[in-house]
Each structure stands twice: as C-alpha cells, then as structure tokens.
Amino acid sequence: MLVIRREICGYCGCCVSVCPRGALELIDAYLSVEGECSSCGICARACPLGALEVADEA
Amino acid sequence: MRPEYDLLVIGGGPGGALAASTAAEAGLSVGLVEKRPAIGVPIRCAEGVGRDLLEEFMDPDPAWISAEIDRAVIVAPDGYRMSLEPSMAGSEVGYVIDRKRFDRELVMRAGEAGADIQVKTRAILPIMENGTVCGARIEQNGHVQDVRARVVVAADGIESKFSRWCGVDTTVPLAEIETCVQYLMTGIDIDEAATVFHLGNEIAPEGYVWVFPKGPRTANVGIGISGRKSRDGHRPIDYLNRFVRSNFPDGRVVEWIMGGVSVCPPLEKTVADGLMIVGDAARVSDPITGGGIYNAMFTGRLAAQVAADAIAKGDVSAGALMPYDSGWRTSKLGSALRRNYRIKEYFIRLTDEKLNRLVHSISRLDLAKFSTLEIIKELIRHDPGLLLELKAIRELL
Ligand SMILES: Cc1cc2nc3c(=O)[nH]c(=O)nc-3n(C[C@H](O)[C@H](O)[C@H](O)COP(=O)(O)OP(=O)(O)OC[C@H]3O[C@@H](n4cnc5c(N)ncnc54)[C@H](O)[C@@H]3O)c2cc1C
C-alpha cells in the first residue's frame, strides 16, 4: 500500500508523471492515490522530498 | 465557462497561455481552465530563459525580469570554474524571470485577446465520442460542467494526466525524470550577472546544481538529479542541503520549490482526434538543461495556429492536426531536442574525471558563441582524444 506522508509532501506532481498506471492525482496541495496503484514504488523513488512510502500490507 | 468553444485549453502555464492567446487572436472562441487557484503559483521553475528565445514572443518587461544575465559559469567536479563571457554570449544567456508575474501576464494577455479564463477549475475527464476528444468535464468548487470543444489542447504540464485519460501513455521513465528541489535564498554572495552550473556525480548525479541570480544577494539555488539516482538519504533535498551548507552557510531560505522535469524524448505523437498536446505535457523540455518555458510557448502557439486552420476547414481529425506534430519536430526546436537527447545520453555516463577533463578543455576553446552546439563543435576540433568518444554525437551536428 502506498503511504503519503502529508507533512513532507510538497505537492509538486513529480510522482504523478512517473506513475505507470496514472494512479496519482494532485488537487492543489492534496495528493491522492486511486485504485489502480500496484505499489511498484517508482513514485517513492522519484519524490524529491521522500514523502511516499510503500508499506507492507499487514 | 460557456457550454461550447472552438478551443478548450487545459492548464494555465506558458504553453496553455500561448495556445489560448494565439487562438483568440485568430478569432476562435477559447476557454482556458487552470486547476490551481492562482496562475503560476507555487512555481516549479528556476526561471532562466534565453534572450533570443524570449524575444521571439515578447519584449522583456522589468515587471517580470528579476535579473539580466550575461555570463555563465560552469564548475567542474574538481572545483575548477570556467567562465563563458559576454563576448561569446548566445542564446543560452538571457534573463532570470519572475514566473509568478510572467505566467500571470501571459494568461492576462490571453484574456485580453478574448479567451475565457477560469481558475481553481480542474479538467476531470475528457468527453470522448467515437474515439474523438470533444471537450472536457470540468469541476470548480464541487460544481461539475461539461464543456464541448472542436479541439482540446492538453497543456497540463509535467503531470500530463488529460492525454492519459484520452488513451495516450505519457509516463516518464524513472531514469528520465529530473527530480528537483530549489531554495530561493537571500543574503548570499553571488555574481549577480552570471548563472552558475555545478557538475559532478557527488554533487548531482545525472544532473546539476544551479545558482540563478534573482537580484542583489538573492538567487534560486537548486538541484535536479535523475529519478534512478534518488533514494532515501540521497534525495534532491539531501544533496541540496549539503551543497548549501558548504557554499552558502549564512544564507536565508525564503521559499522552497519542488518539481519534476522530463529529460526523455518527446511523446511519439502529440495529436489525436480532437486533441493536441503541448509543452511539458508533450515532454518537450530540453534533455540537457531541463528548460521548457520557451518550448511550451513555441508548441502552444503552433498548436493554436494549426487548430485554427483545421477548424476553419472543418476537419479536426488526428490527420488534420498532424501539421502541428510534424511542424515542431522539423523546427529548430525539434532538431535541438533530438540532438540534445543524444548528448545527454553521453554526458550522464561520464565519470567525474572525464567531466573535469571536458570542462578544462572547454575553457581553452575560442568560442564565438555560447551554446551547447557550439561547445560540442569546438570541443571536437580542439581535443582529438575526445573526438572518438564524441563520435556518436558528431553526426548529429
Ligand atoms: C525545478 C525546476 C526548474 C526549472 N527551471 C527551468 C528554467 O530555468 N528554465 C526553463 O525554461 N524551464 C525550467 N523548468 C521547466 C519549466 O518550468 C516547464 O517546462 C514549463 O513550466 C512548462 O510549461 P507548461 O505550460 O507546459 O506547463 P506548466 O507551466 O507546468 O503548466 C501546466 C498547468 O496545468 C495545470 N493543470 C494540470 N492538470 C490540470 C487539470 N486537470 N485541469 C486544469 N489544469 C491543470 C497545472 O496546475 C499547471 O498550472 C524547470 C522545471 C522545474 C521543475
């Protein structure tokens, strides 16, 4: 599962551009993940600040 | 927004603004939607633009010029500074602008030309009929409306979701996104007339650090690195903090700017039935510098010109819009993008040792004009050893 750390996110949209599934959407300062996310972690790599994290599914 | 326009533009950056103003001036009815509440804010840019390039569109106005640049300095990994002087100033020196005011000015011009503008309004879906894009569903403050258009221009920047919803894959490969952080810093010692670029795998792997003056003792200090080099502890923010600590320890940070810029080849096709894709959304930013302001303006204007023609002829199929795609590809911009992509592919493989050698060689060149093209040409003439390595690039010149 993709975890968005809102206290870190700079809502720049860099992650949105690299998501192979188009699962991320940015509305102003609010980034959201939609259903198609495969937890591939590409967005987490691209984030300039480290606001995204793929957490193990419990 | 009216229920129907000739041209609907998604995004109020330089690409969308130029599409809207050009189309309105050509007599089309135009609507432009921007999802943010303010044009140009928050900025996602280092704000550098070439003099010749900017002046192709407008006269420079002190209202949105932060600094005039007549020199570029390249700092090699070993700290050696190479200065490119005004005598060789070419298209890659110019201005550092104030994008908050610049972007707003461009959108206001579109408004003056007759375009309807709506901010805090997001395109949430394309309207598609038989595979043709016929408009967009937009939303403002929870109010949803369908806006039909003969042609839709996707100028939605690095996110480029609108074209994706229309079936075009706009994904940027991880290795080809430059992930960036920039501080607007004050109270720092800088050369106010020079843009400075720091190279090196320790400083900015597959990227560079820039210092772009914004006025007295003030500058955009930023970094971009390849997405594939970014990981915990080695993110742009980490590299930037390290750079700032050792170069501007007493500076004050008054703004944080984040963003991504693509250095991949442009989309394979920038038109579809009823759709044109411009600027960052089309992945036309420069693969070496990451610059994309001019590229967005150029493609935005050209798209509107071709759209006006296609609408007048009553055919907005991909085939009828194709002169836009082939137009920018065969332009100077198109060939620069192809060439610079190949050069970038070469540069990112260089060790710091090789980079040092390159910068030292360049500094001994007798450059008539400062541009990437000129530098590479002269390098080949100057350093026969490099000739072999640059062979792949040579045929592109
Ligand atoms: C850190 C950094 C530094 C840079 N430095 C430079 C530089 O020095 N010089 C240079 O030339 N270029 C630079 N660039 C690149 C430059 O900023 C872009 O190329 C340029 O802004 C592209 O313009 P555009 O109109 O295509 O997109 P943008 O300016 O990004 O505009 C797109 C707009 O579309 C809006 N939008 C997105 N989705 C929707 C939707 N669904 N509905 C409505 N609106 C939407 C966005 O909110 C945005 O305002 C830099 C980029 C970064 C990230």
Ranges of chain B whose pLDDT falls below 50:
91
B357 Cα: distance to centroid of ligand 1 (angstroms): 34
Q: From the alpha carbon of B16, which atom of ligand 1 is closest?
A: 25
Residue among B280, B289, B301, B340 whose CB has most ligand 1 atoms within 8 A, to mutate: B280
Do B248 and B302 form a contact (C-beta atoms < 8 A)?
no
CATH architecture of B4-44+100-171+266-329: 3-Layer(bba) Sandwich (3.50)
Do B7 and B304 form a contact (C-beta atoms < 8 A)?
yes
Q: Does domain B59-97+174-262 correspond to CATH entry 3.30.9.10?
A: yes
Give the chain B residue nearest A10 (alpha carbons).
B258
B313 Cα: distance to centroid of ligand 1 (angstroms): 32
Least confident segment among A35-39, A40-44, B294-298: A35-39
- Termini Cα distance of chain A: 9
- Termini Cα distance of chain B: 48
- Comma-separated ranges of CATH 3.50.50.60 domains in chain B: 4-44+100-171+266-329
CATH classification of the domain holding A47: 3.30.70.20
The whole-angstrom separation of Cα A18 and Cα A5 is: 18
**Tokens of residue B208, six digits:** 């560079």
B296 Cα: distance to centroid of ligand 1 (angstroms): 8
Domain holding A24, by residue range, is: 2-54
What's residue B361's pLDDT?
80
Instruction: Assign 3-class secondary structure to B330-349.
Output: CCHHHHHHHHHHHHHHHHCC
Question: Any residues with CB less than 8 A from the CB of B274 and at least 6 apart, and which?
Answer: B132, B133, B134, B149, B150, B151, B152, B316, B317
Task: Note whether B37 contacts A: Cβ–Cβ < 8 A.
Answer: yes
- Report percent pLDDT > 90 for chain A: 88
- Amino acid type, B236: P
Report the nearest-CA residue for atom 52 of ligand 1.
B45
How many separate domains does chain A show?
A: 1
Whether residues B259 and A13 touch (CB distance < 8 A) is answered with: yes
pLDDT tens for B72-89 read: 899 999 999 988 776 665
User: Taking CB atoms and an 8 Å cutoff, what residues of chain B touch A22?
Assistant: 161, 164-165, 171
What's residue B379's pLDDT?
67
**Tokens of residue A33, six digits:** 């993940």
CB B108: neighbour CB atoms within 10 A?
14
- Amino acid type, A13: G
User: Taking CB atoms and an 8 Å cutoff, what residues of chain A touch B228?
Assistant: 45
Please give, rounded to a whole number of angstroms, the shortest distance from the CA of B239 to a CA of chain A: 10
B391 torsion bin: left (phi>0), alpha (psi -120 to 50), beta (else): alpha
Do A46 and B237 form a contact (C-beta atoms < 8 A)?
no
- B123, containing H or E segment: strand B122-129
Whether residues B230 and A19 touch (CB distance < 8 A) is answered with: no
Give the chain A residue nearest B36 (alpha carbons).
A28
Burial of B199 (0-12, 13-18, 19+ CB in 10 A): buried
- B307, containing H or E segment: helix B293-313
Give the chain B residue nearest A52 (alpha carbons).
B232
Sign of CA dihedral B70, B74, B80, B85: negative
Report the nearest-CA residue for atom 35 of ligand 1.
B11
Q: Tell me: cis bond preceding A48? Omega within 30 of 0 counts.
A: no
How many A-B residue pairs are in contact by the CB < 8 A criterion?
Answer: 88
CA-based angle B156:B266:B310, to the nearest 5?
65
Give the torsion through C-alpha atoms of B285, B287, B290, B296, to 10 deg. Answer: -10
Whether residues B262 and A19 touch (CB distance < 8 A) is answered with: no
What's residue B83's pLDDT?
86
For ligand 1, is residue B36 a contact (CB within 6 Å)?
yes
Do B84 and B73 form a contact (C-beta atoms < 8 A)?
yes
The whole-angstrom separation of Cα B83 and Cα B75 is: 9
Of A17, A48, A50, the CB nearest to B172: A17
- B139, containing H or E segment: strand B132-140
What's residue B358's pLDDT?
84
Q: From the alpha carbon of B222, which atom of ligand 1 is closest?
A: 1
The whole-angstrom separation of Cα B380 and Cα B389 is: 10
| Best CA proximity match to B176, nearest among B338, B47, B348, B299 | B348
pLDDT level of residue A35 (50, 70, 90 thresholds): confident
- Report percent pLDDT > 70 for chain A: 97
User: Taking CB atoms and an 8 Å cutoff, what residues of chain A touch B173?
Assistant: 18
The structure's pTM equals 0.95
The whole-angstrom separation of Cα B104 and Cα B89 is: 29
The whole-angstrom separation of Cα B190 and Cα B340 is: 29
What's residue B383's pLDDT?
62
Report the nearest-CA residue for atom 33 of ligand 1.
B11
